[in-house]
Amino acid sequence: MTTSTNNISLEPATRAAFPFTALVGQPQLQRALQLAAIDPGIGGVLISGPRGTAKSTAARALAALLPGAPFVTLPLAASLEQLVGTLNVEDVLRDGQVRLAPGLVARAHGGVLYVDEVNLLPDALVDALLDVAASGVNTVERDGISQQHAARFVLVGTMNPEEGELRPQLLDRFGLSVALANPVDAAQRTAILRARLGFDENPAALADQHAEEQRALSSALVAARAALPRLTWSDEVLNHAAACAIEAGVDGMRADLVMLRAARALAALEGRSEVTVAHVDAVAELALAHRRPEGGAAQPPSTTSAPQQPQQNPQRPQDQQTAAPAPQGDWGAMPAQPEGTTKVQKIAGWPPKKA
């Protein structure tokens, strides 16, 4: 069907999605996206990496893999009302009916909500978005009136670290994270080029080539979602997740919870009947990488109050008894030295004024 405007025929644009199973050299990214698709309560996936590392391609490919899933993109210039929706107060006053003007989170329900350059998004939008992604419920409030609706979607945020970082508080709100790098292996780059050029030349042919794998993976994701409620965590698994979080030195309990939910999703994807310690180990880095303090695991606090100065000349025992005490507080490296006082000479006053 074509549209005619000013005697110009416009052909509707179609954009085929790159097959998810055709992605090359991104096993961790594919695993993180699959786990988030199985359990959206994980809280989404943050993909960090330089330009041209298939971040947006992978997000679109995931949406195409889920049956009937919408793919919604959040623009950087969107307002809070565009994101979460708004209420028509005039309708309430006129006929007492609360009418919701749905936002992007409502449109993304059951699918994928994609945020490109999430590190450039205003903090207020990121906060609201992550709240909805983790809870699966969106609350719209206006003038003392509120309404809630379900909004369960897979949140995928991408960013280029060269353009700025997310605040640690916002990083922690993302469930899983994957850091991509430019491929340096010539054979891998060749495979990526071959797949991309083949898709650009004939998207249908590449889709047919991976159709069977796509159908199998799509069915596995649907089955894993249904199996989640049947899987529980043993005390051994709980203890291991807690130990991993402590060793990484993360703040709060969100890392532990995300690790457990991701391990359960992986066990469901593999068709297992229980969650094991091995499942926790397989997903631990996805949950801990963006929460771990700089420099690795947290270090124990130092027990010394001031650094020791190297001794150039050994002191005799009698010298050690009169050595100056170590500096304390903000006095600096040198101890305070007593100073003598000098009597101030009185200055003669002015002579009395003659009458």
Who contacts 3 (Cβ-Cβ below 8 Å, separation ≥6)?
9, 10, 12
Could you give the CA distance from residue 275 to residue 267 in angstroms, rounded to a whole number?
6
Q: Would you call 153 exposed, middle or buried from its count of C-beta atoms within 10 A (0-12, 13-18, 19+)?
A: buried
What span, in angstroms and rounded, lies between the C-alpha atoms of 208 and 201? Answer: 14
Which amino acid type is present at position 273?
S
CA angle 299, 304, 309 (to 5 degrees): 115
Q: Helix crossing, 254-269 with 235-248: angle to 10°?
A: 130
The residue length of the chain stands at 355
Partner residues linked to 150 by β-bridges: 137
According to DSSP H, which parts of 1-140 are helical?
27-38, 55-65, 80-84, 89-95, 104-107, 123-135
Nearest to 262 by CA among 43, 61, 27: 43
Q: Exposed e or buried b for every residue in 169-201, given b needs 16+ CB within 10 A?
A: ebbbbbbbbbebeebeeeeeeeebeebbeebee
How far apart CA 355 and CA 349 sit, in angstroms, is 18
Q: How far apart are CA 275 and CA 259, in angstroms?
A: 11
Q: Which is the catalytic residue, given 31, 60, 173, 254?
A: 254
Task: Evaluate whether 319 touches 279 at the Cβ level (below 8 Å).
Answer: no
- Backbone Cα Rg of the chain: 31
What single letter denotes the amino acid at residue 329?
Answer: G
The yes-or-no answer on residue 254 being catalytic is: yes
Q: Do 111 and 69 contact (CB within 8 A), yes or no?
A: yes
Active site residues: 254
